[in-house]
Amino acid sequence: MELPPFDALEGTLVRLRPLARADVGPLTEIAVAHAAEYRLTSTPASAAEAEVYFGRALEDTAAGRAVVVVVEERAGGRILGSSRLTDIEDRHRRCELGYTWYRPEVFNSGVNIDCKLLLLGHAFDTLGLVRVQIHTDTRNVRSQRAIRALGARYEGVLRRHMVVKGGYVRDTMVFGVTDEDWPYVRARLEERLAQRLAGTRRG
């Protein structure tokens, strides 16, 4: 699929910009420094793993299969993490939203809400997709809570779906957001982000 170019997606808390080769080093530092936090994800745990991980991300971007972004703090430009729309299928107008990870200090800060608002908006409003699915390991309870909080619908489990870190064969939970769900999900995310910002300002 030929994807429309973009320089950045601007949110309230974050700016999303396309991944570049120069970002691999800073993102690898974050990933390796907090490897235990990401042990149930595909996030690289070493420099060698990062070369493969980001190499594939850049290849998928060049081939039009993915929109891979660096998540930056809008105030100051500090790199916070990464996310992507991947497995983009033109024929069926669908993709997967995933590979999302941030510095642990921004967990529960509103960063993820803002990032997902931008990426889902890009998927539905710019790319014209009709379905975005989200996968997570059945063991990853924190990820499941975050996905449910987005308003994505739980659709089932793919048993023995993937071979992941350490050779473990994982079961994968599947969630989905469709173009019909998107107005509700967008309103829900905007409300949650406003509440999170109001709480931050009070505290």
> Domain residue spans in the chain?
9-202
pLDDT (tens digit per residue) in 105-144: 999 899 999 999 999 999 999 999 999 999 999 999 999 9
Q: Give residue 200's pLDDT band: very low, low, confident or very high (50, 70, 90).
A: low
> What is this structure's pTM?
0.94
Quote the CA–CA distance of 13 and 197 in Å, as a whole number. 9
Greatest alpha-carbon pair distance for the chain in Å reads 48
CATH class of 9-202: alpha beta
Strands across the sheet containing 94-102: 9-10, 14-18, 67-73, 79-89, 94-102, 131-137, 169-178, 153-163
